[in-house]
Amino acid sequence: MKVGVIGCGTMGSGIAQVASTANCQVVLYDLSEDALVKSENSLAKVMGRLVEKGRLTDESALAIKNRITYSTALDDMKGANLVIEAIVENLEVKHKVFQSLEAIVSDECILASNTSSLSITSLAACLQKPERFIGVHFFNPAPLMKLVEIIPAVQTSAEVLQKTQETIDSWKKVTVKVKDTPGFIVNKVARPFYSEAIKMYEEGTADFATIDWAMKEIGGFRMGPFELMDFIGHDVNYVVTETVFKAFYYDGRYKPSFTQKRLSEAGYLGRKSGRGFYNYAEGAINPEPTTDPVLGDYIVDRIVAMLINEAADTLHVNIASAKDIDLAMQNGVNYPKGLLAWADEKGLPYCVSVMDELFDEYHEERYRCSPILRKLGKNNATFL
């Protein structure tokens, strides 16, 4: 199979590695010669490390490298069965690339975008054959993160959906099918992990070190919300929140926070700038958590209930199946459990009561309990 990858930045380089590791012939195209050289050098380093660790033999590392051709000529996409685009997040630029591409590839070639925030349907609309278009959303770093969200546009044919999902499954990824809605599954369902943590911090319920401690030690999450926001970068994390908020017609559930906006304005972007919520300078003193189990339970219960409610609502409006929502959160952001399975374990009436108590306290839209959670809770039913 010949796979084209457009854009050799963070995501394109990773996707090319994944496809080549799965024995595909890959053409990696970029406008920038420098970017291509950087991508090739970085793959060589990654392969070297994998050989050193004994995860790959010299021969297979060489074969993976040799199956990728680096190119600045879009014409080299000729003969591709699948082309995945991972260039700048700009609708007009992506439209131009796909229109040029459609004149080069065969009618059977599937065209896909790795976009995080643009509508797949609006991208498909620029094509002569929009039914061949689909979203394939990898996570960073693509070679390590198992999840790929597969997003058919309104125009995508059933055959293209099936073929794409089969192909990405054969690359040893966990695929989930998602309706073309803002944030798909992961970037939508994960919003409360950050926003509810920031809200508690702003209101002085607990400081960020305590919230991080609770979510890790009691909740079982790999990273606390503040550590994770510092890791992602406040500029990036804030923009995702704002994009989802706007795209859902300003639904109060996704309201961004001034605290995070101010951090990005200050250039306190997190790890990458040496300072975010935490200070990463050598010898810097960071706050110690208050390891109070009662407070810790309250924090975890509140954030997890909000996450469960968001997952339930995602199911309620048929964005994805219950199984796929759980798979997505476990494989896309490494949550310790699927959120709907977690809801079943806690008991749905309990989850409803946490949401209702928060709503009684705040009377804010963000705390409205999802109808499906309430309905199943009333019948003592479960999600899975």
User: So which residues are the catalytic ones?
Assistant: 116, 137, 149, 187
What is d(CA 233, CA 381) in angstroms, rounded to the nearest whole number? 40
Number of other residues whose CB lies within 10 A of the CB of residue 155: 18
Is residue 342 within 8 Å of residue 303, measured between CB atoms? no
Report, in Å, the least distance between residue 362 CB and ligand NAD: 32
CA distance 346 to 306: 13
- Token readout for 165 is 């999902």
Instruction: Return the DSSP state at 154.
Output: T
Residue closest to ligand NAD, measured at CB: 9
Q: With respect to ligand NAD, which residue has the nearer C-beta, 113 or 210?
A: 113
Which CB sits closer to ligand NAD, 114 or 165?
A: 114
Nearer to ligand NAD, 16 or 305 (CB): 16
To ligand NAD, the closest distance from the beta carbon of 178 in angstroms equals: 14
Interface with ligand NAD (CB under 6 A): 6-12, 30-32, 35, 86-89, 93, 97, 114-116, 138, 140
**Least separation, in Å, of the C-beta of 211 and ligand NAD?**
24
Smaller CB separation from ligand NAD, 31 or 247: 31
| Cβ distance to ligand NAD smaller for residue 114 or 156 | 114
- Cα–Cα dist 337/30, whole Å: 38
Distance CA 183, CA 195 (A): 15
Q: Toward ligand NAD, which CB reaches closer, 176 or 369?
A: 176
Q: At its nearest, how many Å lie between ligand NAD and the CB of residue 7?
A: 3
DSSP letter assigned to residue 275:
B
| Min CB(231)–ligand NAD separation in Å | 11
**In terms of C-beta distances under 8 Å and separation of at least 24 residues, what long-range contacts does 50-53 make, across chains too?**
none
Question: How many other C-beta atoms are found inside a 10 Å radius of the C-beta of residue 57?
Answer: 11
Taking the complex as a whole, how short is the minimal distance between the CB of residue 383 and ligand NAD, in angstroms? Answer: 27
Chain centroid offset of residue 216 CA: 20
**Residue 287, preceding peptide bond in cis (omega within 30° of 0):** no
Q: Which is nearer to ligand NAD, 7 or 276 (CB)?
A: 7
Helices (H), the chain: 10-21, 33-52, 58-66, 91-102, 120-124, 158-170, 186-189, 191-202, 208-213, 225-232, 234-247, 258-266, 293-316, 322-332, 339-346, 348-362, 371-378
Instruction: Residue 146: name the closest of 312, 335, 303 by CA.
Output: 335
Nearest distance from residue 135's CB to ligand NAD, in Å? 10
Element (H, E) at 137: strand 133-138
The DSSP 8-state label assigned to residue 138 in this structure reads E
- Residue 56, phi-psi category: left (phi > 0), alpha (psi -120 to 50), beta (remainder): beta
